[in-house]
Amino acid sequence: MVLFISGGEIFVIMLIVVMVFGADKIPEIARGLGKGMRQLKDATNEIKHEIQKSAEDSGIDTDIASDVQNEINKVKEDIDDMSGPIKRQF
Cβ atoms within 10 Å, residue 41 = 10
Q: What local confidence, expressed as pLDDT, does residue 66 receive? A: 79
| Torsion sign, CA atoms 32, 34, 40, 45 | negative
Contact 23, 30 (CB under 8 A): no
The share of the chain scoring above pLDDT 70, in percent, equals 88
Query: What is the identity of the amino acid at 90?
Result: F
Q: Can you say how many angstroms the Cα of residue 56 is from the centroid of all Cα atoms in its chain?
A: 25
What's this model's pTM, rounded to 2 decimal places?
A: 0.51
User: How many whole angstroms separate alpha carbon 79 and alpha carbon 50?
Assistant: 38
Mean pLDDT of the chain: 84
Write out pLDDT tens, residues 33-75. 999 999 999 999 999 999 888 888 887 776 777 788 889 999 9
Query: What is the identity of the amino acid at 71?
Result: E
Query: What is the identity of the amino acid at 27?
Result: P
User: How many whole angstroms separate alpha carbon 56 and alpha carbon 2?
Assistant: 36
